């Protein structure tokens, strides 16, 4: 472990006092949404702020997959749920991408890196889906 000088320690403490995060209610509200830019890592799977998503629609989608795969064990049900989540998020990525390409108003993150990031997230969810489906096929 390295020893830090008193001057460096004092400078760190001064800087830390300046970095206290958002102070206003509006700033706190805005920063609370930082991780949700694409909605790929939202705390909840269904984004209620998107007209194309609802809990009821996700439950219906999950029921369709459950009916199709007819799980026999808890592990089967967990793999089906994982596949449903991956498909749901991948479908969201497709919708956001279509909106961005069309240049429609309300496009999320219209920066130069937007589509690159979206494709990365979409690929990640597609890999999760592939893993879940492979596990289900192996079990059946």
Taking the C-alpha atoms of residue 22 and residue 38, their distance in angstroms, rounded to an integer, is 22
Provide the pLDDT confidence category of residue 41 given band limits of 50, 70 and 90: low
The reply to whether 11 falls in a domain is no
- Burial grade of 2 (CB within 10 A; 0-12, 13-18, 19 or more): exposed
Strongest mean pLDDT among 29-38, 42-51, 67-76: 67-76
- How would you label 73-98 residue by residue, b for 16+ Cβ within 10 Å and e otherwise? eeebeebbbbbbbbbbbbebbeebbe
Q: What is the number of structural domains in the chain? A: 1
Find the domain containing 116 and state its range. Answer: 51-140
Least confident range of 46-50, 85-89, 121-125: 46-50
The reply to whether 27 falls in a domain is no
**What's 36's DSSP letter?**
G
Is residue 61 within 8 A of residue 88, CB to CB? The reply is yes
The reply to whether 44 falls in a domain is no
* pLDDT tens readout for residues 81-120: 999 988 988 888 888 777 777 765 555 544 556 667 777 8
- Residue 109's Cβ-side half-sphere holds a number of Cα atoms within 13 Å equal to 17
The reply to whether 13 falls in a domain is no
Quote the tokens at residue 93.
């990525």
45: closest CA among 53, 108, 34, 106?
53
């Amino acid at each position: 472990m390295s020893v830090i000088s008193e001057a460096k320690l004092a400078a760190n403490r001064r800087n830390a006092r300046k970095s206290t995060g958002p102070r206003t209610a509006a700033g706190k509200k805005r920063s609370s949404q930082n991780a949700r830019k694409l909605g790929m890592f939202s705390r909840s799977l269904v984004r209620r702020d998107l007209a194309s998503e609802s809990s009821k629609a996700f439950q219906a989608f999950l029921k369709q997959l459950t009916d199709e795969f007819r799980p026999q064990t808890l592990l089967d049900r967990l793999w089906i749920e994982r596949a449903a989540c991956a498909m749901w998020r991948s479908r969201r990525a497709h919708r956001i991408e279509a909106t961005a390409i069309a240049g429609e108003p309300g496009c999320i993150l219209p920066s130069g890196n937007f589509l690159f990031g979206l494709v990365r997230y979409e690929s990640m969810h597609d890999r999760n889906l592939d893993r879940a489906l492979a596990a289900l096929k192996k079990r059946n």
